[in-house]
Amino acid sequence: MKFVTPSILSLLLGFIISCSSLSAEPLSVHADFEGGSVHLLEIDQNSRSLTFTPGGDPARGWPCWWYFRIDGLTPGEPVTLKLRGSTAAVESRKPLSSVWAMPKQATFSVDGTEWRHTEPGQRVEEAMVYTLAVDATSVYVAWGPPYTPSMAAEFVRSISETSPHATATELCRSREGRVVPMLHVKEGDRPDEERFGVWVQARQHAWESGSSWVAQGFGEWLLSEEPDAAWLRQHAEIFLVPIMDIDNTATGNGGKDALPRDHNRDWSAEPHWKEIIAAQRKVSDLISEDRMDVFLDLHNPAPGDPTFFYILPEEMLKESTVKLRDRFLALAYQRISKAEPRIPMSSKPKITGTSYHPLWRQISTNWVSMHGNPDTLSVCLETGWNFTNSTTEGYRAVGAGLAATVREFLAERAREE
């Protein structure tokens, strides 16, 4: 009997792998679709791996978002993704830290609809390395579950067609001419002046795709058969905007710190972005009617940060406003912390006053707090994106819990009045 030595076995395995790669279709990378973004550094056809960084113009926000399609796969074969941080920068800024672009688990889909997590990536020197195998010849991969303008439009359209209480409308047209979808919800004949005003918006920073899924979860619960949802529809007028920074979301740019300023630093006397101009106008109308009751701005935070709410310091608000806000936060923590699937959340909010940012007065929730009615609740909610349950299901569960919290909070208000 003849034995194969380890060295010969290694040569044979290398020969087999080499022959297999030669017979396979060549891998190719594509991002020429809505929300697509990637800067491809290398494709190694032999090892079936590719090296890339996030795409995007740094003048249009942090280059941390990536979303692209890989073609040429052999069904079932493993492919290796080597992600490096972007070196792109603008003006005097330093390149963005790579941690913002490197989730513990990447997101993938074979049909562009159902999104799943890869196995945890491995940090190898300056790269994050993910490996996945799918039973398909192509796969979409992304920083997180994408939520594009087309998806927002479809959600608003479909839910308005299935519910007589919802109307698909638009907030405005963007500077690049895109429609900004908005959902308008109310049920029954109660006059508007007797309804609570509720404004929910997401995605002032384009890369924070999870916030749009939270907004969708809010809308799904709101139009559900839940008796509590019916109460909210009957006693409030609700405006829901799944994507504010529509242009950067469509073009695959980060949005955060975009020039001349990002959307969430643009709530000033003279906003640059048309979305902010339109939102300010509608919110101001609610304020003038003394019914700007709940303003919620949805985001994703720093990697691994479980901070859930961002608020103004107490000394900048009236005592009655602080009391209402604290009650809402308590209800939200209690309800959303029990949502399934759970996403970690800290019960200690972060303060967004004078030391937070030079443009702190122009942050949306701060602007609404300072210009709103005495009983206006205005908070920023940030849902963690770098956890196992940071998925479409997890985000939507947070949104549903948030909507139920709004109902409970306003029902208490109604009993007191």
pLDDT in tens, 387-409: 999 999 999 999 999 999 999 99
Instruction: Give phi and psi for 365, each to the nearest 5.
Output: -65, -35
The pLDDT of residue 298 is 98
Percent above pLDDT 70 for the chain: 94
The pLDDT of residue 218 is 98
- C-alpha torsion angle, residues 20, 21, 22, 26 (rounded to 10): 140
| Per-residue pLDDT reduced to its tens digit, 177-219 | 999 999 999 999 999 999 999 999 999 999 999 999 999 999 9
Count of other CB atoms within 10 angstroms of residue 338 = 10
The pLDDT of residue 1 is 45
Task: Give percent helix, percent strand, percent coil of the chain, each to the nearest 5.
Answer: 35, 25, 40
Q: Residue 5 has which token pair? A: 């030595």
| Cβ–Cβ < 8 Å for 336, 132 | no
- pTM of the complete model: 0.94
The pLDDT of residue 387 is 96
The pLDDT of residue 416 is 84
Domains (ranges, CATH) in the chain?
23-142 (2.60.40.3120), 149-416 (3.40.630.10)
The pLDDT of residue 8 is 55
The pLDDT of residue 5 is 54
Separation in Å, CA 248 to CA 205, 206, 214, 407:
8, 6, 19, 32
The pLDDT of residue 116 is 98
The pLDDT of residue 75 is 98
Pairing of strands 179-185, 166-173: antiparallel
* Residue stretches of the chain with pLDDT short of 50: 1-4, 6, 9-18, 21
Q: Residue 340 has which token pair? A: 């399934």
